Structure 1
Amino acid sequence: MVDDDPLRMAVDIAWSVYRARHRHVDAADSRRCLLERHLHGRWEAGESDAEELTGFGIAYLDRLPDDEC
């Protein structure tokens, strides 16, 4: 079984940073699901470092349009 703790940590941190920058975004916003899918794909492609995944997640969220969801 693969250890997905780095993935979970990266999603949680990237989402927390994004919400701190965008106070109007609800914790249950569907962008979190998009973030999870994006980082899961990176993780399956072999990226396993939590810090790098976090950086990829923050960059991904910053590229999403405000009206994405």
Structure 2
Amino acid sequence: MPTTTLMSSSEVARVLGCTPRTVSRLVAADVLTPAAKGPGLRGAFLFNAGDIARLKRERDDRSKRREVAS
């Protein structure tokens, strides 16, 4: 059975090259969906590592297309 690797907002921010606040904004904008949320109002988000890798590839691809178009 495959295991799912979960990442914190800080880890996601490091991978995407942004701040944890930006990660929260991506969640609020429905660009990024947490796999789990800790208890309470301020519970930490946890994200599936595969989802983050896919988002990073998409963002990198868009960035490369913009560079080529310039």
TM-score, structure 1 normalization = 0.36
Hey, which of these two has a bigger chunk of helix by percent? 1
Higher RCO (Cα < 8 Å, 6 or more apart): 1
Larger strand proportion of the pair: 2
* Higher Rg of the two aligned structures: 2
